[in-house]
Structure 1
């Protein structure tokens, strides 16, 4: 059983659910090309969003859609193939994590990577999580250099 953090008011379980839903929504956007608002609306009504952090879900999905070109450009040198050739689940996980690493510095980079790895284990290909982990470790070293260097 999880409890909201007493210091920040954040419920880690609700955040995790928001990230998993965001992964599914970003995947749906990547595959369909539908408007982001339509996808968010669909998830708001079809998924059990009452137990997820809905504002965080929406921030992640809108942020990834708005900034995916920047994130793809940053990820490209760290990949062993073109961004568009990365498995769609892994690509969604990488984009969401890139958003969190750059835009949500309040979330520790290790949490970002762990959440992306766990979501990829759940929804992705058998060894996709190891690929996501390796790429995000390199991205964290660049974008969160001080935090990364201070790891124990």
Structure 2
């Protein structure tokens, strides 16, 4: 059962590697603090997209989420508050690359696209490939069965526009 205001998590969804070879009891690699921050930011942004609740209240609710203590709190704050403040700008960056109106996106896909676009715009120290990989893995965990493919395709175009110097030159 999903808590109100949180996106559903798909059964059997993969966990992402944190760069460590350690495994959890279930055999999956442990999550990095940044991954946890991104997942919590997704949950908060999902809640904001559905209810337009105050960012501070959403953040306070997230502090009660299991695993909060293991998240990169600075990254979570930057993502959640930054994406909410820049929502119109982020949507303007995303929308030209969609095959539908932004209002027709699922809230999970919309939130993932907003968070990744925020990282691409405001966090140039994070390589675009890391941003895209994290977004795709989170979309696999929280989104519909094929949503991650859509997220990947859209973000590939957004990243090419926002970070052209990171893309290999066609020759």
**TM-score, scaled relative to structure 1:** 0.89
Of 75, 78, 102, the residue aligned with 1:56 is: 75
State whether structure 2 residue 55 is matched by structure 1 residue 42.
Answer: no
Residue in 1 aligned with 2:160? Answer: 141
Which structure has the higher relative contact order (CA within 8 Å, separation 6+)? 2
* Distance change in 2, residues 1:150/1:57 (3 Å): farther
Instruction: Answer 1 or 2: which has greater helix percent.
Output: 1
Equivalent-residue separation in structure 2 for 1:130 and 1:76 (angstroms): 17
State whether structure 2 residue 148 is matched by structure 1 residue 129.
Answer: yes
RMSD: 1.8
Of 13, 17, 20, the residue aligned with 2:39 is: 20
Per-residue CA distance 1:90-148 (angstroms, 9 max, x = gap): 00000000000000000000000000000000000110000000000001111000012
* Distance change in 2, residues 1:149/1:66 (3 Å): same
> Which is greater in Rg?
2
Equivalent-residue separation in structure 1 for 2:42 and 2:109 (angstroms): 9
Structure 2: runs of 5+ lacking an equivalent: 1-16, 21-30
* Distance change in 2, residues 1:105/1:31 (3 Å): same
Residue in 2 aligned with 1:69? Answer: 88
**TM-score, scaled relative to structure 2:** 0.79
Residue in 2 aligned with 1:119? Answer: 138
